[in-house]
Amino acid sequence: MQSLFDAINTVCSRIQLISDLFWDFPANFSWYGSIPILGNFSLAIILLLGSGVYFTCKLRFIQVRYFRHGLNVLKNSKAAQTGITPLTAFFLSTAMRVGPGNILGVTGAISIGGPGALFWMWFSAFFGMATAYTESTLAQIFKEKKGDEYVGGLAFYGKRLLKGSAVAGGVLSLMYIVYALLCFPAQGFNTVSSVGQIAELITGKAIPTTSALYWVAFAVLIVAMAAISWGGIRKVTKVTDILVPIMAVIYVLTVLVLIVVNFTRIPWFFYAVVTEAFKPEAVFGGAFGVALIQGVKRGLMSNEAGQGTITMPAAASDAAHPCDQGCVQAIGVFLDTIVICTLTGFVVIMGRVWMTDHADAWFDMGKLPKYLASATELAPGTTLNTGISLLISVCFGLFAFTCLLGFISFTEICASRISTKKSFTLIIRILCLAVVSFGVLTSIAGMDLGSLWDLSDFANILIAYCNIPLLYLGFSYVKRATEHFEKKDGTPFTSGIAGTDVPVWDEKAGRYGQIP
């Protein structure tokens, strides 16, 4: 068995070299790296961040002008006969956006790039909101009706924009499935390990991963995933409608307690974030480019703006106008990065363990231990510290579990895009559960498959490279929809407005007697 794991690690390590090339090109060449400022940006970062700036300017800062409208859409969501409500779609996309990376990724970025990395996360998120608006509006425009549900997203608008190419739709669907499969193992173990962490905090005893507790948690996880995912997207959303608000409220309140207890450090927090965005401390390498790249990369990978991975929940919504859901999804980026990631940043930066006698030990820790050590520094007293750690562990587990539900739900939609045969969808479902099981089992057994977890970065950038060109290709439709949306003249959005055939919107308008 060990030889199998070694072989997998070897293959994954080689693919990781390709992933690094995709992420770093051409910044990994000395001639390019020597260019002032520009040399800090890889093509991937320029593509993702530059697209956000472009869409922001072309849409005249729509993420600012219609932020309140997006909130109103969420507040006034009503039950949908077909598809799901905008609020439910928002919760489902949040379930996938807000994951363990909001804790692990942010902690890692700050520990490498310094407090200034958080500033660049904000920067990327602001422009990423316009990208999220663009891709979500595009997903709404080209969504399709399947029974009493709406389906759509990257694979669907990709097929339409590429002149109805079934091959393009199939390839993009397959890419999403591969992307999800690469993310499953780590998220599965994150869910199970959080149970162990909670048990250790409650009992005050160390619990080995080979204990019965981990095996029971593993079995419950697989049964729960199977029971929920087999019920389709409506069953998944019934769970995310409950869990997403709970995990968000718990995490926000937990960190707010730490902030209030340490309110005297708040001015220093903002000072450190802003000043070190341009001149990091020597302990973090002292290089402006490190803070910038860590912040931008983590911000973009956390909120997933531009990757196309959140377009499927956006398409599932029964929105009144395509742009309504675009505004809602822009708020999703705001919640993920400006709110959740910032709260994580508060803990790590205000904890400032790197300025204490424990600095060396802190830098040697893993990402989650780093975060918990920072929280401990801010929580005076054993009781408060234990309570805070317990709540953080609960949130961490919920973050991972809701990610799994979102992934498995949309791999099924992609599977149906590749083949309408129920047997193929069943195979994909079983494969998803098998990969989750594989990840958890190898971790419980103490096997090291670290390089496999890193491959999610490779999947991220591959999907982004496919999605961004499609957004430019379909931007004229988004622009038409936005212009119609801003007129607010009461006319329905139809094929005539879109400038292309949009059967779902024609049917919807006809249902209310607004077109012949």
pLDDT(1) > 60:
no
Mean pLDDT of 399-414: 84
Cβ atoms of 311 and 48 closer than 8 Å: no
Give the type of residue at 279.
K
List pLDDT tens digits, range 415-468: 877 887 888 888 888 888 888 888 788 777 766 555 555 666 677 778 888 899
- Percent of the chain at pLDDT above 90? 18
> b or e along 165-203 (b: 16 or more beta carbons within 10 Å of the residue's beta carbon)?
eeebbbbbbebbbbbbbbbbbbbbbbbbbbbbbbbbbee
- Of 49-63, 111-125, 294-308, 366-380, the least confident: 294-308
Tokens of 14: 């080689």
Pairwise CA distance, residues 370 & 356, whole Å: 13
For residue 516, what pLDDT is reported?
Answer: 43
pLDDT(13) > 90:
no
For residue 459, what pLDDT is reported?
Answer: 72
List pLDDT tens digits, range 151-202: 888 888 998 998 877 788 888 888 888 888 888 887 888 888 888 888 888 8
Say what the pTM is.
Answer: 0.88
Cβ atoms of 382 and 354 closer than 8 Å: no
Mean pLDDT of 255-263: 89
Helix (H) or strand (E) holding 145: strand 144-146
Q: Which residue has the higher pLDDT, 98 or 469?
A: 469
- With bands split at pLDDT 50, 70 and 90, how would you rate the model's confidence at 329? very high
pLDDT(222) > 50:
yes
Cβ atoms of 98 and 301 closer than 8 Å: no
Pairwise CA distance, residues 364 & 288, whole Å: 22
- Of 239-243, 334-338, 392-396, 445-449, the least confident: 445-449
Q: Which residue has the higher pLDDT, 57 or 417?
A: 57
pLDDT(348) > 80:
yes
Pairwise CA distance, residues 122 & 298, whole Å: 10
- With bands split at pLDDT 50, 70 and 90, how would you rate the model's confidence at 140? very high
Tokens 């003249």 appear where? 489
pLDDT(63) > 90:
yes
For residue 304, what pLDDT is reported?
Answer: 74
Q: Is 314 helix (H, G, I), strand (E, B) or coil?
A: helix
> Between the ranges 232-236, 273-277, 289-293, 442-446, where is the mean pLDDT highest?
273-277
For residue 169, what pLDDT is reported?
Answer: 80
- Percent of the chain at pLDDT above 70? 88
Task: Please name which of 270, 226, 188 lies closest in space to residue 440, comparing C-alpha atoms.
Answer: 188
Summary mean pLDDT of the chain = 83
Q: Compute the radius of gyration of the chain from its Cα atoms.
A: 23
Angle, vertex CA 401, rays to CA 396 and CA 407, nearest 5: 130
Cβ atoms of 155 and 148 closer than 8 Å: no
Give the type of residue at 418.
I
Pairwise CA distance, residues 344 & 368, whole Å: 11
Pairwise CA distance, residues 103 & 85, whole Å: 29
What residues form DSSP beta bridges with 144?
Answer: 151
For residue 283, what pLDDT is reported?
Answer: 65
